[in-house]
A and B are shown apart, each in its own frame.
Chain A
Amino acid sequence: MPREAEPSQNEKDFILKAVREGHRLDGRALDEFRQLDLKFGDQYGVADVTLGKTRIIAKVTAEVTVPYTDRPFDGIFTITTELSPMASPAFEVNRPTETEVLLSRLLEKTVRRSNALDTESLCLVAGQKCWSIRVDLHVLSHDGNLIDASCLAVVAALRHFRKPDTSMEGDTLTVYTPAEREPVPLSWLHSPFCITFSFFGSISVGEDGEEKDIWLLDTTLLEEQLRVSSCTISMNKHGEICQVAKPGGAPVEAVTVVQCSSLALQKVKDLSDFVDQKLAEDSKHRNKGGLLAELSAENAR
């Protein structure tokens, strides 16, 4: 199995020493995110997230299928992740690495299990027809913090997505093309975001030698290789935790975890506002002049 090249001992020592003194290689503060950018595609349901050098594309598609027999009133909602060799030589096709399994599990827990998307609203005819919503996530470039960026991309894409409108008359189900009826957004309940804290051991502060854990937000790939453990907290802006995962690694004080969770809330609010603002910009852009312009008989000539 190919592996990411290990950083040399010099690099390790340098970065760790700098982090202990409160500096990072790219000059950010310890709790600062890299430049975050979110673009939507021409189609509905395409989100392109750039976080520093990490770039992720999420694409949402919908189709009408038969619901699972054990859940006749629910639609189908799946998230698939693909970490291709394009993003990093450590990834292989058709062989999920541990990173990929953890990433897809985290997204699953954050978005799907927390009921961010109301799957009952996807049901068309109970037990016979329902919408199947599928999110395909592609990592185009991997420079750390995949989880936070992926989660943002998935949420943004789903909120941007419009599915074709449908109607039921008697026993006939009609699915309208975008020309006939304006597509409708998904029934979205809340927007969860992931915040990953990376821990780098502890330093003693003050005279009494009290230990304080050092953590970073939005780590680059290099920093991620050096961290001793990580903790991902998923939350929405209402302060509801959707998922917490600290998968092993070096121990941290329980107090630190609690502190991190309240800090995560602030960051989630920032991210939430950011996505709201971008969505508003996009809909404004799409809807130049509003409905009136579209209805006007006057043509551009």
Chain B
Amino acid sequence: MPLDTSTYNLALLRVDGRRWNELRQQKGQLGVQPSADGSAYLEMGNTKIQCIISGPNERDLSKSTSSASTAPTSNGAGATVAVSIMIAPFATVDRKRRGRNDKRLQEMQTTIASGLAATVQGQSYGPRSTIHISLNVLSQDGSLLACLINAASLALVDAGVPMTDYLVACTAGSTSSYAAADEEADPLLDLNTQEEQELPFLTLATLGATDKVVAMVCESRVQLTRLEGMMATAADGCKGVRDFLDGVVRDKGELMVQEGAIGRGEVVSSMDLD
């Protein structure tokens, strides 16, 4: 396949005009589905995800969603996280319908479910309840797993589920293919489909702005020496994503305070006890 990114070295600009460390345009919205317990809509570039959460509630797992992947929180003492991904047939350029038992999707579901289970503090709900996370991919243009994780995180905040921190994810690639052993290769942040097809890349999910890796998926051949650089880039991208998600949540909260839907919070900055 001809490398479109071969022009990268000339101007240090990528196919969509970004520099190596730039995230794509992001848009986020909370509470897009009022009847759900929590919902969010997230765009990262042209990847568009809608996430609907129902629960935590007590519903028969086997009956409702047989294709969902589940993971228990807090060592089985807390609520179960069940994730199911639906990719709309119109999400990609070539319109096709996917089977429900696509192993690639199942793997992603498992990754998201057990990743979120590690951040959700589910012990307050009891082991019989389940948080159902349903992710709908409306448009797909690279960094799919990362975007799914971010959307689910955002929706969980909307649902008021206690979490240690946001679970955020981002992709990073490397400009050289595995064959070329040149040391000049630049890492790239937040890849789109075109770049994903040509370049080795990995998806990294971290716990908030820390360097703690919750999930990491790399599916392409890449030199071991590249790994560290790509991980560092992705981790920095995760920080950017976290700040963005945090901004979305704060905006929503401030709006609710302004409208009077919730009482104004008290400020502890003074830290004085009466």
Q: Which residues of A contact B (CB under 8 A)?
A: 6, 98, 101-102, 104-105, 108-109, 113-115, 229, 231, 235, 239-255, 257-258, 261-262, 265
Contact = CB atoms under 8 A, between A and B. Distances in A.
Interface in B215-240: 215-225, 227-228, 231-232, 235
Given A231-B216, A248-B215, 13 more contacts: A114-B221, A240-B222, A241-B218, A241-B223, A244-B217, A244-B227, A247-B217, A248-B110, A248-B112, A248-B114, A248-B205, A253-B212, A253-B213
Given A102-B107, A235-B224, A254-B235, A249 B115 contact: yes
Contacts of B227: 241, 244, 258, 261
A151 B231 CA distance: 25
- Describe A's contact surface by its main secondary structure: mixed
A105 B215 CA distance: 16
Contact of A246 (B107, B178, B216, B221): B216
B85 interface: no
Interface string B20-48: 00000000000000000000000000000
A242 B224 CA distance: 9
Nearest to A256: B213
21 contacts: A105-B103, A105-B104, A105-B106, A241-B224, A241-B227, A242-B221, A244-B217, A244-B227, A245-B217, A246-B213, A247-B110, A247-B114, A247-B215, A248-B112, A248-B115, A248-B205, A248-B214, A249-B118, A251-B212, A253-B213, A254-B231
Given A240-B224, A243-B219, A251 B207 contact: yes
Q: Which 4 A-B pairs have the closest CB atoms?
A: A248-B114, A248-B115, A251-B212, A244-B218
A251 B214 CA distance: 4
B171 interface: no
B117 interface: yes
A258 B228 contact: yes
A102 B223 contact: no
Contacts of B202: 244
A256 to B, nearest CB: 8
